[in-house]
Amino acid sequence: MANLTRLPAPIIESYEWQERGACANVSVERFFSPDLERGAPRRARETAAKAICAPCPVKEQCLAHALSVREPYGIWGGVTAEERAAMLSMRRDREAAA
């Protein structure tokens, strides 16, 4: 079950950046893996999603949101769930070393 405690408050200011996203009128299926999707089909879908994210004016906000709520699925800010997990792990390692 998802941990909803990390989500921002349900007020428009917390989410209005999403309206300016390059993905605003794109089907969410482009950004989230269907069950059992693996290999070349998954890599192709992720590459296509990242191409949509590349020029996005709110890409940094999107990634910051996904990292802050530890979003476990999908492409957010041009980054996969696995890539975000690695980013968070590196961040924890740096903080522990400091």
Please spell the DSSP secondary structure of 11-63, one letter per residue.
SHHHHGGGGGSTTTTS-GGGTSPPTT--HHHHHHHHHHHHHHHTT-TTHHHHH
Q: What is the pLDDT of residues 37-88, one digit of tens each?
A: 999 999 999 999 999 999 999 999 999 999 998 999 999 999 999 999 999 9
* Reported pTM: 0.82
Cα separation of 65 and 51, whole Å?
A: 19
Q: Residue 76 pairs with which residues in a beta bridge? A: 79
Cβ(31)–Cβ(23) below 8 Å: yes
Cβ(37)–Cβ(45) below 8 Å: yes
Q: What is the mean pLDDT of the chain?
A: 89
Residue 15's pLDDT band, with cuts at 50, 70 and 90, is confident
Q: What is the pLDDT of residues 76-97, one digit of tens each?
A: 999 999 999 999 999 888 888 8
